[in-house]
Amino acid sequence: MSKTPKPDELSKVDYTPPKTGWMDTPAEFKQGMWCYGSKPKNLETLEFPNPRQWSPADEDWKLPENWQEILLNGLKERLDKYRSFKVFMDICVRCGACADKCHFFIGSGDPKNMPVLRAELLRSVYRGNFTTAGKILGKLAGARKLTYSVLKEWWYYFFQCTECRRCSVFCPYGIDTAEITMMARELLNLLGLNTDWISGPAANCYMKGNHLGLEPHTIVGNLEYMLDDIETITGIKIKPSFNRKGAEILFVTPSGDLFADPGTYTAMGYLMLFHELGLDYTWSTYASEGGNFGFFTSNELAKRLNSKIYAEAKRLGVKWILGGECGHMWRVLNQYMDMWNGPADFLLVPKSPVTGTVFENAKSTKMVHIAEFTADLIKHGKLKLDPKRNDHLKVTFHDSCNTARGMGIFEEPRYIIKNVCNHFYEMDEHTIREKTFCCGSGSGLNAGENMELRMRGGLPRANAVKDVVEKYGVNMLANICAIDRAALPAILDYWVPGTGCTGVHELVANALVMKGEKERTTNLRGEPLNGMEGQE
Amino acid sequence: MNAILSLIAVIALILIALLGVKTANLHSLFGIAVPYAAMAIFLIGVISRVLKWGRSPVPFCIPTTCGQQKSLPWIKQSKLDNPSTTSGVIGRMLLEVLLFRSLFSNTAFELRNGPKVAYGSTRWLWLGGLAFHWSFLVVLIRHLRLFTEPVPACLSSLEVLDGFLQIGAPGLLLSGVVLLLAVTYLFLRRVLIPEVRYISLAADYFPLFLILSIALSGIIMRYFTKVDIVGVKALTLGLVSFNAVIPEGISVVFYIHLFLVSALLAYIPFSKIMHLGGVLLSPTRNMPNNSRMERHINPWNYPVHVHTYEEYENDFREKMKSAGIPVEKE
Ligand code: HEM
Ligand code: SF4
Ligand code: SF4
């Protein structure tokens, strides 16, 4: 693995396009910008084609003889299945409004990271094979043949898109390059061309229920560590249940929060909140992953992984489902789950047992976002909160791409944060809400070997953080996404050292005054509370 | 290079009309047959393209949400940017189509030393695009006076409005000038902005040159060569009533103008100009974000191979039991 250049070196980005036209500039695989190839055993587990040992750096990718035919048939099939794809192939006017909206373009200056050009990589092949003008006029009509070099270019650049949809916000027709990337990745998967960091976790999700491959006893064990910590900090012993039939609520959250800091503090937050409410809920070890690595692979695999949530809810006989803080998990739950694995007619319309609020907005999927749930609790005064405990924090909020542009959950987390923290500051308006910048590691790009790519992609986000760090002394970046919690610490360390990263429910739990708790001397991270150096 | 090729293509079209009418005297071909053929290609082409799009289903509810979702009653929903109802979607679409709302929010960034990424609003493309489309529309509507007799009052008043500057005789019409300026702007930004030049295909320059020359030939006819408008109207009225005859003495500039328009019409169905239809069918804009409230149906949803709970328990039963997790089969 190559060494990632230093920030001052990396931030000298040259935006001048190459002298040669993009069709005549083959992709050059730069170290640190791509992920390792999928391993055969994971593809076998997932029943995907062409499992074999290969490396993207190899000349020969060991493809089946008729790989072009497979891809073109796959392309045709998807044009017939998705109106979005077909329309987006036809109507781009190349106005360039999306060009500088991609964090990867801003951070790398590579013109093929302009959403429009990323899409053209595939569109050109579409034109060459499926349109009259393209077949006759060829390059003049922006058409080209599907060659080995084009295929490699696809692989390189469609795994440099985090499917964040920022480009789609600015396009006058809503052309969503994320949608095109999703199609391209499906096509690549027809040839066994996935990355190791996606197919491995996906295989884990399939066999073990979560992307980290935590087996049932490990999940329980990991939570027990957290429970011990909670007891040390609050004096309260919590006993959650697992796979319990007859619970009112099934709780599903990304498994990342059961595994590593700072996500574990968010998981502790859930445990404390639910305990304080006396919620009748259960965890599941079978449906132990809200995140969906299938979504970065193919629609079919995403559906296969997602199916566990409803299946488990049905088996356990719960009334409704509560979902934890996660980005793409919520895009999937909001925009796909019901169409794949619904109808959830065996569940009831979610109703908060604490406030009686009926979540009409989830009356079909029966799945509520924890930020909606908690905001409702706070609004009804059901939580005793002491925001002073978070006074050492100056917090800003990062909207995750998927919950922002594939759902629109903006106010709920902000309302919560403002109730549990006294110091909250927004970042530059061009970098939040629907215009939020990706962490740069989404859609399965959160690997180690592509660190330079991640740092480049993370530049716009981190830079907006740096701005509030300098202006207001912000020291904590809150978010509602497990990938953020896994990816942002490294990005912040690199671009804005000294800035922490937290889930919203960690902040909640720190402020939460629990019945029968002892006086807290530390926060969930074990840092002393009485210092309170943030007090002014 | 792409620009030059497109320019050559448009010049070729002009020459074809010029030679065809001036030298070969093919007046009825260029005055009658070609326009009919172009119109037929346009209509059939546009309809079949839209039907083709329509044949592909919309399996998932994938609006790009650009504002607060509908959730708790006390949280204010962004009804236009994140609509959850049909009326919200209609509002969103109207603003897109009539005012290019997404383009309005366009930004530009700058990477300064530090590093510091700075953002600012940029509305030039929005302004140029809006000026272009609206003036194009006005010009198009004004042309209806050639196809109607008597000319409806609303058309005449539009023309009065359009000519409110009252410069010269015949009065200068604003729409034509704006169209010319806007097309010029769109062309210039295409060649001057490096990123946009890099992504531009011949198919991006061609319609711009085509429209530019249509506008120019129109302006020449109106203000400079003063075409025989009575003769033109006889021809156009003939065309719409399906018994066209070629009147004597219409200048060749008119035939060039007509031929270029025909070329544009015939070109539209095969080109990106179809975006007018596509934007209406774009699922990221024309769907409500209500997929947690109402079930959308994916017409090709099919059963998939899943890893069932039973299989999972079989894999881990002993581990589950030792961790105190309830199991189905002891
Ligand atoms: C409905 C919303 C529409 C939007 C948001 C829209 C937007 C745009 C934009 C951004 C361009 C690109 C300009 C450039 O950089 O070259 C363009 C070009 C163009 N549009 Fe539209 N447009 C719309 C509808 C229409 C309609 C109804 C027509 C009718 C024919 C039309 C005809 C054209 C033409 C002829 C061009 C210029 C030629 C070209 O560059 O291809 N547009 N439009
Ligand atoms: S903003 Fe839309 S139409 Fe313009 S170049 Fe990008 S994808 Fe194409
Ligand atoms: S979806 Fe995001 S990462 Fe992908 S091209 Fe668009 S802006 Fe870039």
pLDDT in tens, B276-305: 889 999 999 999 999 999 999 999 999 999
Give the number of other CB atoms < 10 A from CB of residue B83.
27
Beta carbons of A90 and B272 less than 8 angstroms apart:
yes
Q: Are residue A363 and residue A496 in the same domain, yes or no?
A: yes
- Ligand 3: nearest atom to the Cα of A438: 2
Ligand 3 centroid – CA A167 distance (Å):
6
Which of A193, A215, A245 delimits the end of a domain?
Answer: A193
Best residue for ligand 1 mutational test, from B133, B135, B199, B210 (most atoms within 8 Å of Cβ):
B133
**A519 CB-contact burial (10 Å; exposed 0-12 / middle 13-18 / buried 19+):** exposed
Q: Are residue A351 and residue A207 in the same domain, yes or no?
A: yes
Q: Are residue A182 and residue A208 in the same domain, yes or no?
A: no
Judge if the beta carbon of residue A96 lies within 6 A of ligand 2. yes
Supply the DSSP symbol for A4: P
In a domain, B224, yes or no: yes
Domain with A233, as residue range(s), is: 201-511
Written as one string, the DSSP assignment of A29-97 is --TTSSPPBPPHHHHHHTT-S------TTSS-----TTHHHHHHHHHHHHHHH-HHHHHHHHH-----T
Ligand 1 centroid – CA B276 distance (Å):
7
pLDDT of residue A312: 98
Q: Are residue A12 and residue A141 in the same domain, yes or no?
A: yes
Q: What is the total count of domains within chain A?
A: 2
Which of A143, A171, A193 delimits the end of a domain?
Answer: A193
Say whether B298 and A406 touch across the interface (CB within 8 A): no
pLDDT of residue B48: 95
- Residue nearest ligand 2's atom 4 by CA: A95
In a domain, B227, yes or no: yes
pLDDT of residue A70: 98
In a domain, A440, yes or no: yes
Say whether B320 and A217 touch across the interface (CB within 8 A): yes
Residues from chain B that touch A375, judged by Cβ atoms under 8 A, are: 72, 75
Opening angle at CA A203, ends A296 and B308, nearest 5: 110
Q: Are residue A467 and residue A361 in the same domain, yes or no?
A: yes
- Residue nearest ligand 3's atom 5 by CA: A115
pLDDT of residue A2: 58
- Ligand 1: nearest atom to the Cα of A173: 5
pLDDT of residue A1: 47
Judge if the beta carbon of residue A175 lies within 6 A of ligand 2. yes
Domain with B277, as residue range(s), is: 2-322
Q: Are residue A147 and residue A207 in the same domain, yes or no?
A: no
Interval B182-221: pLDDT, tens: 999 999 999 999 999 999 999 999 999 999 999 999 999 9
In the structure encoding, which two tokens stand for residue A258, read together?
């059961």
Say whether B129 and A172 touch across the interface (CB within 8 A): yes
The pTM assigned to this predicted structure is 0.95
Interval A8-29: pLDDT, tens: 999 999 999 999 999 999 999 9
CA distances from A81 to A300, A335, B92 (A): 13, 17, 25
Say whether B203 and A133 touch across the interface (CB within 8 A): yes
B115 touches chain A (CB under 8 A): yes
pLDDT of residue B249: 86
In a domain, B330, yes or no: no
Interval A297-336: pLDDT, tens: 999 999 999 999 999 999 999 999 999 999 999 999 999 9
Supply the DSSP symbol for A398: E
Contacts of B7 (CB under 8 A, 6+ apart): B205, B209
Ligand 1 centroid – CA B274 distance (Å):
9
In the structure encoding, which two tokens stand for residue A500, read together?
């922490």
Mutation target vs B (from A42, A286, A405, A470; most B CBs, 10 A cutoff): A286
Q: Are residue A186 and residue A300 in the same domain, yes or no?
A: no
Smallest Cβ distance to A142: which of B56, B59, B201?
B201
Q: Give me the percent of chain B exceeding a pLDDT of 70.
A: 100
Q: Are residue A434 and residue A306 in the same domain, yes or no?
A: yes
- Ligand 1: nearest atom to the Cα of B189: 15
In a domain, A20, yes or no: yes
pLDDT of residue B52: 95
In a domain, B130, yes or no: yes
A181 touches chain B (CB under 8 A): no
In a domain, B246, yes or no: yes
In a domain, B177, yes or no: yes
| Residue whose entry in the numeric block shows the structure tokens 């029968």 | A516
Phi and psi angles of residue B225, each rounded to the nearest 5 degrees, phi first: -80, -10
Q: Are residue A172 and residue A285 in the same domain, yes or no?
A: no
Confidence at B222, pLDDT banded by 50, 70, 90: confident
Q: What is the CATH number of the domain that holds B316?
A: 1.20.950.20
Q: What is the total count of domains within chain B?
A: 1
- Residue nearest ligand 1's atom 24 by CA: B276
In a domain, B329, yes or no: no
In a domain, B328, yes or no: no
Judge if the beta carbon of residue A173 lies within 6 A of ligand 2. yes
pLDDT of residue B173: 86
Judge if the beta carbon of residue A94 lies within 6 A of ligand 2. yes
- Residue nearest ligand 3's atom 7 by CA: A102
CA distance B209 to B227: 23
**A351 CB-contact burial (10 Å; exposed 0-12 / middle 13-18 / buried 19+):** middle
pLDDT of residue A532: 46
Residue B3 C-alpha, separation from nearest chain A C-alpha, in angstroms? 11
pLDDT of residue A534: 43
Question: Taking a contact as any Cβ pair under 8 Å apart, which residues of chain B between 262 and 291 contact chain A?
Answer: 270-272, 274-275, 278-279, 281-285, 289, 291
Mutation target vs A (from B298, B307, B318; most A CBs, 10 A cutoff): B307
Beta carbons of A522 and A390 less than 8 angstroms apart:
no
Q: Which residues of chain A have pLDDT under 70?
A: 1-2, 530-536
> Angle A370-379/A263-277 helices, nearest 10 degrees?
50
pLDDT of residue A533: 44
Confidence at B225, pLDDT banded by 50, 70, 90: confident
Q: Which residue of B has its CA nearest to A219?
A: B323
Residues from chain B that touch A180, judged by Cβ atoms under 8 A, are: none
Q: Are residue A101 and residue A227 in the same domain, yes or no?
A: no
Supply the DSSP symbol for A351: B
Best residue for ligand 1 mutational test, from B97, B273, B274, B285 (most atoms within 8 Å of Cβ):
B273
Q: Are residue A317 and residue A440 in the same domain, yes or no?
A: yes
Judge if the beta carbon of residue A207 lies within 6 A of ligand 2. no
Contacts of A433 (CB under 8 A, 6+ apart): A399, A404, A410, B67
Q: b/e for B230-253, b at 16 or more Cβ within 10 A?
A: ebbbbbbebbeeeebebbeebbbb
In a domain, A40, yes or no: no
Which of A193, A224, A251 delimits the end of a domain?
Answer: A193
Q: Are residue A183 and residue A213 in the same domain, yes or no?
A: no
| Torsion angle of the four alpha carbons A253, A255, A257, A259, in this order, in degrees rounded to the nearest 10 | 160
In a domain, A530, yes or no: no
Q: Is the pLDDT of residue B156 over 90?
A: no
